Chain A
Amino acid sequence: MLDRVFIQRYGDYGDRDVASGEMQESTVNNPHEWPLWEVFIRSKQGLDHKHAGSLHAADAQMAIENARDVYTRRMEGISIWVVESKHIHASNPDEADSFYEPSNDKIYRHPTFYDLPDAVKYM
Chain B
Amino acid sequence: MSVDTIKFALHLADNNLIMSQRLSEWTGHGPALEQDIALTNIALDMLGQSRNFFQYAAQLINEGRLLKEFAPGTNYPLDEDDLAYHRLEHQINSHLLVELPNGDWAQTILKIYFFSQYQQLMYEQLLQGNDAHLAAVAEKSLKEVKYHVKWSRDWVLRLGDGTEESHERMMKALNVLWPFTGELFEETTWNTQVFQHQIVREKWLQLVSSTLDEATLALPVLPTFQTGGLRGVHTEHLGYILAEMQYLQRVYPGNDW
Chain B proximity of A13: nearest CB distance (Å): 19
- Contact status A56-B158, CB under 8 Å: no
Q: How many A-B residue pairs have CB under 8 A?
A: 29
Nearest residue (CB) in B for A68 is B147
Determine whether the beta carbon of A69 is less than 8 Å from that of B154: no
- Confirm or deny: A58 has a beta carbon within 8 angstroms of a beta carbon on chain B: yes
CB nearest to A58 among chain B residues: B158
B154 contacts A65, CB within 8 Å? yes
- Distance of A68 from chain B, by nearest CB (Å): 8
When chains A and B are docked, how far (Å) is the Cα of A70 from the Cα of B33? 9
**A69 cross-chain contacts in B, Cβ below 8 A:** 34, 37-38, 41
Nearest residue (CB) in B for A73 is B41
The chain B residue sitting closest to A69, CB to CB, is B38
Binary interface encoding of chain A residues 53-89 relative to chain B, with 1 for a CB under 8 A from any of its CBs, else 0: 0011110011001101110010000000000000000
How many angstroms from the CA of A68 to the CA of B147 in the assembled complex?
Answer: 10
Contacts of A66 in B (CB 8 A): 34-35, 37-38
Chain B: which residue is nearest A55 at the CB level? B34
- Chain A positions within 8 Å of B38 at CB level: 65-66, 69
Q: Which residue on chain B has the smallest CB distance to residue A37? A: B34
A65/B41 in contact, CB under 8 A:
no
B-side interface residues toward A, CB under 8 Å? 32-35, 37-38, 41, 147, 150-151, 154, 158
Chain A residues in the interface with B (C-beta under 8 A): 34, 55-58, 61-62, 65-66, 68-70, 73
